Amino acid sequence: MNTLSDSNNSFHSLFIHTANRPAILERVLRVVRHRGYTLCSLSMPESDSGDASIYMQVRGLNPDQLLRQLEKLVDVHNVALLNEEQEVLRA
């Protein structure tokens, strides 16, 4: 899917809202790796509800493709790409 020479091979911030089920983190990380993206950072704050929020930074091109693959995970409710402003707010 990706070529290393592509100039769009940059950082992307993703927010994943998902059911907090066993193996959800493994499922997400497997998709990230298999689809050719490099994980740069990840946080998954504790939650009392049945849902979980995952924030991650990845490197790779065409983040929409990764977003669509992550959306296919049965436990995932939705995935969003965060722009710089949203990232600042989160921080």
Interacting residues with other proteins (CB under 8 A): 1, 22-23, 26-27, 30, 34, 62, 64-65, 68-69, 71-75
**Whose structure tokens read 């950082």?**
11
What's the min distance (Å) between Cβ of 69 and other proteins?
A: 5
**Closer Cβ to other proteins, 56 or 79, answer by number:** 79
Nearest-approach distance from CB 35 to other proteins, in angstroms:
9
Question: Closest separation between CB of residue 23 and other proteins, Å?
Answer: 6
Q: Assess contact for 43 and 55: CB atoms under 8 A.
A: yes
Distance separating alpha carbons of residues 15 and 54, to the nearest angstrom: 6
Nearer to other proteins, 68 or 90 (CB): 68
Burial call 32-65: b when 16+ CB within 10 Å, e when fewer: beebbbeeeeeebeeeeeeebebbbbbebbbbee
Q: Which residue's CB is nearer to other proteins, number 71 or number 87?
A: 71
